[in-house]
Structure formats: C-alpha cells, structure tokens
Amino acid sequence: MGASAPNLAGGVPGPGGGRPILAFRAGVWNDNPIAVQILGICSALAVTTRLENALVMGAAVIFVVMMSSLLLSLLRKAIPRRIRMIAEVAIIATFVILVDQFLRAYYWDMSKRLGPYVGLIITNCIIMGRAEAFALHHRPGISLVDAAANGLGYTFILAVIGLVRELGGTGTIVFGERVLVTIPGYPMNLVLRGAPGAFIALGFLVALLAALGLRKTREAQG
C-alpha cells in the first residue's frame, strides 16, 4: 500500500488494461510492484537474507496472487461493492493458509526460516492491490496474466536483493545442502546480511531503476 495507497481506494485499472502482453510487461517491469509501486516492501526486506528464501517466498506470492486474482475476477459481479474488502481478505487469507500449511507439511526448515512472513502475505499490499486495481474490473484470463506478471516482478526484485545480500554478506550461495558459489577468503559482511543492508540494497535498487527511466510518473509520491 503506502506510496500508492490512493490506487487501492480509487480502484483505478492498472496500466496495459486490455492486452495480455502489455499487462505482462507492466507487471514485471514498467510498473514493477516493488521498485515502482513500492508495495510489499516488508517481505522483500525480511526474507532476502538468502537467495533460496527469496525464491520460495516469490513462489508463494505468485501462487497466492494468481489464485486470489482469478477467484476474485470470477466473482467480481457477485461481490457487492460495499463488502468487497472483507471478501478480498477472506479469499486471500484462504490461499495464504494453504501455502502456510503446505510449507509446514513438506518444507519444515523453510517454513521455520520464513517464520511469520508467510502469514504476512495476507497483508502484502501487492495482492490486495492487484485485486482492487485489476481483478475486480477485468475478465479472469487477463487478470491471471496481470497477477502472474506482478508476482514475477516481485520475485525478480526479491531474487536480486537476495543474491546481493547472500553473496555480498557471506560470499556464498547456498541452496538447501548444496553450496553453489563460494568466493574464497571472503570476509563476513554482517551489515549487508543484516537489517541495514536490506534497506540500503533496496534503496539503491529503487534508485537504479529510477535512473533507468522507470518511476517517471510517480516522482511526486513517496
């Protein structure tokens, strides 16, 4: 929510309204949920200590945003406008609980590492934002594309931050038990690995994307 909170309230249709390819590009790049819309920052910072965590979190968000957008889009004519928020939260919560229970059952270590941040997908504004700004005004097919694109855009930024923080923080990339990359003799960098590094890395990433010409319409905000 945050910087583009008015978007939530106004229910303005997202960019690239009609055509799938445009909606896709908008979600992944031009209107990237994290770097451009500044949504879903909390989890982007919290779970990116490692690349693996970032990717799992990204997958979880892609699943939740796609399923909830699809369902809300199918039900868009049936949901009365006044109670739409509650309907949205209920539907999103259902899918988040599914993901949470799935991780607990099959990937206990990962579930413990992500901790409460899986549950916090409910309050991840990207999902609510897509529901409000897109799924409630568009047909299921295009809503699914839009949701997938935004989920991928989110995952992409998470992966970049995760990569920077894991490689920059410890000099290694570890997936499960396997060590993929090691920089020999790399000193531990606790700043990058810890909380300050997360803020600073995301700050520089947002600035980098701004320098590349994104965020032009949103300069006034934030």
Partner 1 sequence: MNETSALVIFVAAVFTNNILLTYFLGMCSFLACSREFPTAIGLGAAVTFVMTATTVINYLVYHYLLVPADLGHLQLVVFITVIAAFVQLVEMVLERFSPRLYYALGIFLPLITVNCAILGVALFMVNFEYSFVQAVGFGAGAGVGWTLAIVLMAGLRRKMAYANIPAPFQGVAVTMITTGVMALAFSGFAGMVSIQ
Query: Please, which residue, 77 or 216, has the CB nearer to partner 1?
Result: 216
163 near partner 1, rule: CB under 8 A: no
Give me the torsion for CA of 20, 31, 167, 202, rounded to 10°. -160
179 near partner 1, rule: CB under 8 A: no
Q: 211 Cβ partners below 8 Å, 6+ apart?
A: none
42 near partner 1, rule: CB under 8 A: yes
Task: By CB under 8 A, name the one of 12, 79, 87, 97 that touches partner 1.
Answer: 97
153 close to 28: Cβ distance less than 8 angstroms: yes
130 close to 150: Cβ distance less than 8 angstroms: yes
DSSP designation for 179: E
Query: Please, which residue, 176 or 194, has the CB nearer to partner 1?
Result: 194
3 near partner 1, rule: CB under 8 A: yes
221 near partner 1, rule: CB under 8 A: yes
Task: By CB under 8 A, name the one of 28, 38, 65, 114 that touches partner 1.
Answer: 38
d(CA 169, CA 193): 5
Nearest Cα neighbor of 222 from 203, 197, 196, 200 is: 203
Identify residues 104-133 at the interface with partner 1 (CB under 8 A).
115-116, 119-120, 122-125, 128
Task: By CB under 8 A, name the one of 45, 70, 149, 173 that touches partner 1.
Answer: 45
48 close to 162: Cβ distance less than 8 angstroms: yes
d(CA 133, CA 27): 12
Site residues for partner 1 per CB under 8 A = 1-3, 5-6, 8-9, 38-39, 41-43, 45-46, 86, 89-90, 93, 96-97, 100-101, 115-116, 119-120, 122-125, 128, 191, 194-200, 202-204, 206-208, 210-211, 215, 218-219, 221-222
